[in-house]
Each structure stands twice: as C-alpha cells, then as structure tokens.
Amino acid sequence: MSQSRILNAAEASRRHGALAGTYAAAVMHADPLGDAAVEALHLFHGRWWPMVLKALEEGIEAVPDAPPELAALIASLPPEPKPEEWEKMVRGSAAVARAGDSAALVLQCASLMIDYWSPPAMKPLVMTGGLQLQTIHRLTQTNAWWIELHRPGGLQPKQDGYKTTVHVRLIHAFVRRMIRGSGAWDRAALGEPINQADLFFQVVGFSKLMIDSLQRMGYRFTAEEKEGYFLFWRHTAALLGVEKALLPSVNETDCGRYWDLWMLTNPGPDADGVALARTTIEAVAGVGNPSAAMRRFQLWLLRGATYWLLGREVGQKLQVPWTAAAFLLPMVYMPAVRISELLAKWRGVDRSQAAARAIRKLALGNAALGIVPEGTQVVSAPERLEALAKFKPGVPAS
C-alpha cells in the first residue's frame, strides 16, 4: 500500500471497513495482462492496433503472428452477458443516453473534472504531454468513446464501442510503459500509474456521478434503469481491465462509498489540477471557434455548471471562477427537463428511440466541428499510436 498517497487512512477504515483496505491496495495494482500485451505489441510499431482489431473482429486465430501475450489478453476478456442482462443494460444505457447534450455537459463539467482533484491520479496526464494539448485530447477522445459505447448495441462484441474500450485499455498500458521507462515515477509514493483504484474511480464518474448529475438536472430513472446502467458499466469496467475483485462494487451503494473514499484519502488539487480544470473549461468554451461574446457566455455557463454539479468545495479548490449560473441553472434547467420529459411521455416516445436520436445528434455535432473521427479510431490518432509503440524505456533513475 502507498503510505504517502493514502491520507486519513484511519478515518477511511472507520467509515468503510474492509472496502477502505481494498481501495488502498488497489493503488498498487495495475493491469498485468494489458501490460504484458503492450510489451509484446510495441515491437510491431504502427501495426499493433490493426493486429488487435483483426483479432477482436475475426478471432485470434486470424492473426498468425499475434504474440501469445495478446492471445492471453483476448482470452481474458469478459464473457458475453446473458440475454436478460443485455436487456437490462440496453434499458439502462438508453435511459442515460437520451439525455444527449445534458450528458455531454456532465462529462465535461463533472465526470472528467473530478479526476483533477487528485494530483497522483493526474500525474500520468501531466507527464505524457503539454497540459493544454493533453487536456483537449483527453476531452474530445473521451467524449467520442462515450458516444461509441452508448450507440444502440455499442457494447456488443465486434461493435465499435466494445473494440474502442479495449483500445482505451491498451493505451493506458502503453502510457504506463512510457512512465515506468522514464525513471521519473515514484511508485512507493504514488502507487502504480493509472492504477486500479484510479481506474475504478473513473468508472464511478461515468456511472454514479452521471446518474446523480442527470437527476439533479431533472431527469428521472427507475430502479431498474439505474441497475441496468451500473451493469452496463460493470461490463465496460471488465473490458477496461478493472480487476475481478473490484467489479462487484460497480453498484450504486459501493460507488457512493468509493466517492467518499476518494475525497477523503486523496490530497486536494495542486497547480497542475487547477491548470487542467481551467484548460478543460476553456477548451469546451472554444469548440467551434465561437464569437468572443458567445465564448464568454459559454465560460460563464460551464463554470457555473461545475459548481452546480460538483459542489462549492470542489469548485473552489479547483479554483474555477464562480458565476451566477450556479444558481440560475437549477432554476431553469430542471423545469425545462421535466416539461420535456412529460411531453415525450405524452407523445409515447420510446427511450431507446430517444437515445438513438440523441447519440446520433452528438456524433453529427462532433463530426461537423471536425473534432474526432468515428469508429475505432476515436481513441488515438495513428501518429500517436506510432509514437507510443516506438517509445523505448530508458534506464530507471537510481
């Protein structure tokens, strides 16, 4: 366990018992199968992703030169859910995806923003490139991945959401390889780079924080829809390489406890976290090269939304400038959503149809702005993949 990374350990144990120990231990765990696969795949340079893609689409036997480490990774991927589980997952993901632009706002101002609370969790992002470039890259690519996941059937094998999730897992492993090889990572103080605890908390941000934020906006979910959405993210987490011991905790109760553990045991944001929060909001406000007046309005809105969705303490410690939108948004947003929901119910609009339309609209909006391509190339551009593959670890610092 990383002693210097985990703060308030005694209080965490008092509040959460064994779960606190599981969380602390997970800081020192990475993804052995993913790491072994990229150690073998980097020798193929720019061919590594087409090789993985073919293995996912046609089976490992279709790739005669595939290294055994890739075969082991493919074999370890979670089995297909049972039909009744698929049905729950479809209902749950459709219930969230129908929110469309509202869900995108949650991603931008809450699900991604909260990661900046923890300097150790954000250090890999800081180490792998310039703050502004990497923030924009992470924002746009994560949004695109979310879209692929939430397309109807997107999480089924051979669909782009499924394949892109495996892609994200391998990118994480490549980044770990780069960081370990740099000699600049203090494992005893920071835990593993992109470790299991930090990865799990990202799942919390995409699942519980998303549902809680949308409910705050006025959207309503049945108990079955929420259960289905957590099941959706449990399967996604398994594809991402979250270890089996943590997967049962992808539920509403335990994700809420993990949120408390994260806020209690992680140090508050440092200068890099503050800079990442600022560049994230500025990047979103600048998408599409709006006029100066529109950009000012977007900044006002996004800053207020961050306070609304994450609370005053998080907003203040991330040094996000407070705006009156934090008060005005709840007064306007919730009634508008409730009226829209009532009209949809009165017209008999099926949530799956509404979800498909919302996802299509988000994808078309991204394409019109030239942000990211669709399909399995949403995670990393070819030149970035080549750079990751060609990286050779240096001699670790003594």
At 4-52, the pLDDT tens digits run: 689 999 999 999 999 999 999 999 999 999 999 999 999 988 789 889 9
Residue 396 confidence class, pLDDT cut points 50, 70, 90: very low
In a domain, 21, yes or no: yes
Greater model confidence, 394 or 60? 60
| Residue 282 C-alpha from the chain's centroid | 20
In a domain, 183, yes or no: yes
DSSP, collapsed to helix, strand or coil, labels residue 379 as coil
Residues near 237 by Cβ (< 8 Å), separated by ≥ 6?
199, 200, 203, 246, 247, 250
C-alpha pair distances (Å), 117 with each of 292, 361, 370, 378: 30, 31, 30, 26
How many structural domains is the chain composed of?
1
319 DSSP 8-state letter: T
Percent of the residues in the chain that have a pLDDT greater than 70, as a whole number:
84
Q: In whole numbers, what is the pLDDT of the chain averaged over residues? A: 87
In 3D space, the residue among 162, 157, 195, 248 whose CA is nearest the CA of residue 32 turns out to be: 195
Residue 359 confidence class, pLDDT cut points 50, 70, 90: low
Q: Output the pTM of the full model.
A: 0.90
In a domain, 232, yes or no: yes
The C-alpha atoms of residue 174 and residue 74 are separated, in whole angstroms, by 17
In a domain, 290, yes or no: yes
In a domain, 1, yes or no: no
Do residues 202 and 208 make contact, with C-beta atoms less than 8 angstroms apart? no
Residue 274 has pLDDT above 60, yes or no: yes
In a domain, 42, yes or no: no
Residue 364 confidence class, pLDDT cut points 50, 70, 90: low
Percent of the residues in the chain that have a pLDDT greater than 90, as a whole number:
65
The C-alpha atoms of residue 156 and residue 57 are separated, in whole angstroms, by 12
In a domain, 192, yes or no: yes
The half-sphere exposure of 232 on its side-chain side, counting CA atoms within 13 A, is 31
The C-alpha atoms of residue 377 and residue 199 are separated, in whole angstroms, by 21
Number of other residues whose CB lies within 10 A of the CB of residue 226: 19
In a domain, 36, yes or no: no
- Domain containing 260 equals 9-30+77-390
The residue type at 325: A
